[in-house]
Amino acid sequence: MEHIIPEMVYQAETNECALACISMLAETQGVNAPLDALRERFPASAHGTALSTMCDILSELAIPVYPVAFDLHELAELPLPAILHYGASHYVLLAYRQGSYVCVMNPAIGEQLLPIAALKSEISGYALVLDQEAKSAAPPREKQKRTRRFRALECMSLKQTAAIPGIYRLMLLAFLISLTLFIMPVMVSSAINNVFSSGGKTEFPYFYYLLAFVVSTLLAFFVRSVTERFIKRFVVMQSVSGFAHLLTNSLAFFEKRSPGEIFSRFSNWQMAAAQKIELDNGLRIDWVVGVIALGVMCYISPLLAAVSAIGVTLMGLVSVWAIFRDRYFTQQMQVKSAEQSDFLLETIQGFATLKSAGLTSQRQTAFTNYVVSLFDCRQKQKIYEQVKGSLYQLIGSLEMVFFMLLALPLLKNNSISLGEFFAYSFVRQIFTAYIAACATGTITIGDAFELIRHGRANMMLAGAGESLRSDSAVWNIDVLGALASEQEEIARACCPFSLHRNGFVLSEGAAVLCLEERESAIARGATILGEILGYGNFSDASDFTAPVEDKIARVQTIRHALQQAGVTARELDYINAHGTSTPLNDLNETEAIKIALGEAAYTTPCSSTKSYTGHLIAAAGSFESIVCLQALEHQVMPATCHLATPDPACDLDYIPNTHRPAVLNTTLNLSFGFGGANAALVIGRGK
């Protein structure tokens, strides 16, 4: 019989990991025991919960268990599900095995799929296992029919937004807009067939296609206004309900948490609610449009459609595998970074005791172990990222090879027309919508650069646009505390790297670059404005908005871009910094640049043009790439305006207030987005 895999239950208090594990174990046995109910019925002691107490609680829930002591080599034989004593004072639930891996449901950090060997280093050798003999004597219970087989589909649940009045009318409108994606393939197919079949004698209906594009654009504006009304209604309902639920908590709940933590969690949840309805609606439409696209490809050529379907399936399998590995490495990095940070803080706070007791050498040895453990994990993560990227690249390349291998003979034998060939290429062409907050524009350009560099495309349009004009959009950004609060002096409203900075000013716009393979651009006589030399993209995903204090991902992003470009730190002429005018980002970015470039950071001019333009959010990176190109063309470095009083901690050359002429050959564009999306582009002069 298959095990029931429970929902993940997170502990809300430091000492209630045992109750969270009991709640999850109860679900595996078909018993409904939510954490809130357990908390009221069995209040957790300030000193935690003993195994004997857990046995008593589970006995009252009619779930017979008994404690066991086992050796480390016996871990693989432990009957599952089981509650495991973990570390010095923690409990986790072992849900199931999968080969040499075991699913660990950790109430502190979430679900992990860990190698059994890695788990052995964390356990104490004690566990609670189900008493199968006592279970067989008990009357059978009706269990929930939810097994691991369907867990992969749970992340796509749309139930929360399905009950919103009018949601399916919104879906229908957005679906009609999505169908306009097929206008371009139809137009290209008709135009090419018209030229080659009739020699262009038949007049092509350009006007009707132009009219279709105009109508689709107007419909898109209408759908956006309707969507914003739905989002506002949904967010207001969720926010009021959530705030009411927050007020129902006991006084102890607020005493155990700082106001900053409560505010941060509630604000982040509120913003996530604003995104929920749009994401759900997009997911519904994407499935339908994907099926239609596959149907169109099958209509043109079932054989070619099979190649694309196999490619998508293989990439999907890689993505499913990557979900668990990404989660594992993210959690491991968080845990090991936290352990090292705790050790450092403990050392600093108890420094007098350590010196008087002569324990410095012991602490040095212990710190070495923490550092080795952290960077061993980071090394494995980098190797895994390379393997994952290589698999995606290999599948994409093989799909292209097989597509051309099959398509060209079909075209030669007139099994498909030239117009159908191009139409099919449009339908299956790489069309990726990136959502990476403030780094979106830079990432789209960088990924387009990589696709051309690896021969998967010859020419690509890459960029981003943003228009956060709705009340809900502005309100969501303001809730984060990122908007400038200055009302009197406009020079203090957006002043990156200034001592008086307090946030940025929102702006709207779009910026798109045309990237083309160099030889192709030269052959057609294109005006080359510049050249992408290197691209870096490392994410940290530590916090919803705040940058990670260790700055590792930002430093790696800069160094990787320079390394790929073959440019040393001293050869860099100018940096267009992300520079958002927020207290956290500007200081963190300054320190990241200094770590990445070393002494060269102090001699490399950099500036933030957001002091002139405001923050275009998604479009910022692509717009500032154009700024770098213009700086190269005109040999002028743009200034950071409003920088009257620099922050002493931001001590680099920020080109204050006045543009500076210079000989420029190589520039660096930096974009650091909310949620830890970091990207960098090295842009050189066109030769």
pLDDT band at 596 (very low <50, low <70, confident <90, very high): very high
Taking residue 425's Cβ as centre, other Cβ atoms within 10 Å add up to 14
Average pLDDT, the chain: 79
Which of the residue ranges 293-307, 373-387, 651-665 would you say has the lowest mean pLDDT?
Answer: 293-307
> Tokens 């001590």 identify what position?
651
Mean pLDDT across 20-26: 92
Q: Quick one: tokens of 445?
A: 């350009």
pLDDT at 186: 66
pLDDT at 148: 45
Q: Which of 85, 90, 560, 578 is catalytic?
A: 578
pLDDT greater than 50 at residue 153: no
Radius of gyration over every alpha carbon of the chain, rounded to an integer in angstroms: 29
pLDDT band at 46 (very low <50, low <70, confident <90, very high): low
Identify the residue with better confidence: 135 or 466: 466
Task: Give CB contacts under 8 A, 24+ apart, made by 354-358.
Answer: none
Catalytic residue check, 3: no
Catalytic residue check, 245: no
pLDDT at 570: 92
Of the candidates 383, 339, 390, 331, which has an alpha carbon nearest to the alpha carbon of residue 541?
A: 331
Max Cα separation, the chain?
96
pLDDT greater than 70 at residue 10: yes
In the chain, pLDDT over 70 holds for what percent of residues?
78
Written in H, E and C, the secondary structure of 616-648 is CHHHHHHHHHHHHHHHHHHCEECCECCCCCECC
pLDDT greater than 70 at residue 412: yes
Main-chain phi, psi angles of 599, to 5 degrees: -65, -25
Q: Which of 85, 560, 615, 642 is catalytic?
A: 615
Identify the residue with better confidence: 344 or 271: 344
pLDDT greater than 70 at residue 189: no
Q: Could you list the beta-strand ranges (E) of 556-605.
A: 574-576
Domains and CATH numbers, the chain: 17-150 (3.90.70.10), 161-337+375-434 (1.20.1560.10), 439-685 (3.40.47.10)
Written in H, E and C, the secondary structure of 417-485 is CHHHHHHHHHHHCCCCCCCCHHHHHHHHHHHHHHHHHCCCCCEEEEEEEECCCCHHHHHHHHHCCCECC
CA distances 391 to 387, 396, 654, Å, are 6, 9, 41
pLDDT at 366: 87
Q: Which of 17, 21, 377, 438 is catalytic?
A: 438
pLDDT greater than 90 at residue 629: yes
Q: Quick one: tokens of 512?
A: 């798109």
pLDDT greater than 90 at residue 577: yes
Q: How far apart are CA 222 and CA 230, in angstroms?
A: 13
Interval 431-464: pLDDT, tens: 344 455 677 888 889 988 988 887 777 888 888 8
pLDDT at 218: 78
- The whole model's pTM is what? 0.46
pLDDT at 574: 96
pLDDT greater than 50 at residue 152: no
Written in H, E and C, the secondary structure of 656-674 is ECCCEECCCCEEEEEEEEH
Catalytic residue check, 615: yes
Of the candidates 587, 561, 593, which has an alpha carbon nearest to the alpha carbon of residue 647?
A: 587
pLDDT greater than 60 at residue 628: yes
